Structure 1
Amino acid sequence: MSKYHNVPLKGVIFDMDGTLFSSQLDFALIREQINCAHGEDILEFITRLDSDSQRHAEQVILDHELADAEQAELLPQVAQSLASLHKAQIPMAIVTRNSEQATGIKMSRNPIPIDLVLTRDDAPAKPNPSALLHIAERWQVPVQHLLYVGDYKYDIQAAHNANMRACLYAPHKIPDYAAQADYVIRCFSELPALIELC
Structure 2
Amino acid sequence: MHPLLDDIELVAFDLDGTLVDSVPDLARAVDAVLADLALPAAGTAKVRDWVGNGSLKLMERALRFATHADAASPGAGSEVDEALLERAHRGFLEHYGRDPGAHTRLYPGVRECLDALRERGLRLALVTNKPVAFIAPILEGFGLERHFDLCLGGDSLPEKKPDPAPLLHVAAHFGVAAEACLMVGDSRHDIAAGRSAGFRTLAVPYGYNHGEPVRDSGPDGVVESLAELV
Structure-1 separation of matches of 2:4 and 2:201: 15
Partner of 2:198: 163
Q: Structure 1 residues 157, 101: CA separation in 2 closer, same or farther (over 3 Å shift)?
A: same
Compared CA separation, residues 190 and 7, structure 1 to 2 (3 A): closer
Supply the AA of the counterpart residue of 1:115: D
Distance in 1, Cα, partners of 2:129 & 2:105: 18
Q: 1:89 aligns with which of 121, 127, 152?
A: 121
Unmatched 5+ stretches in structure 1: 39-44, 193-198
The corresponding residue for 1:146 is 181
CA distance in 1, matches of 2:114, 2:225: 13
1:55 CA displacement: 2.6
Cα distance in 2 for partners of 1:5, 1:169 equals 14
The reply to whether residue 34 of structure 1 matches residue 63 of structure 2 is: yes
Percent identity of equivalent pairs: 26
Which of 146, 171, 190 matches 2:228? 190
CA distance in 2, matches of 1:172, 1:14: 13
The DSSP-based 3-state class of the residue aligned with 2:121 is coil
Please say if 1:178 is aligned against 2:215.
Answer: yes
Q: CA deviation at 1:163?
A: 1.4
Aligned counterpart, 1:118: 152
Aligned residue for 1:117, secondary structure, equals strand
Aligned counterpart, 1:59? 90
The one-letter amino acid of 2:89's match is E
- Count of aligned residue pairs for this structure pair: 180
SS at match of 2:201: strand
- Cα distance in 2, alignment partners of residues 97 and 5 from structure 1: 24
Secondary structure at the counterpart of residue 69 of structure 1: coil
Shift of 1:61: 3.7
* Bigger Rg over Cα: 2
Whole-angstrom CA distance in 2 between matches of 1:23 and 1:110: 13
Kindly indicate whether the alpha-carbon contact (under 8 Å) linking 1:33 and 1:60 is maintained by their aligned counterparts in 2: no
Describe the shift of the 1:73–1:5 C-alpha distance in structure 2 as closer, same or farther (beyond 3 A): closer
In the superposition, the TM-score normalised over structure 2's length comes to: 0.68
1:77 and 2:112 matched: no
CA displacement at 1:57 relative to structure 2: 3.6
Distance 1:88 1:160 in 2: 25
- Contact map agreement 1:70 1:105 (CA 8 A) in 2: no
Counterpart secondary structure, 2:126: strand
Contact in 2 for aligned 1:143/1:164 (Cα 8 Å): yes
Over 3 Å counting, the alpha-carbon distance change for 1:32 and 1:17 in structure 2 is closer
Q: Are the counterparts in 2 of residues 168 and 183 from structure 1 also a CA contact under 8 Å?
A: yes
Aligned to 1:15: 14
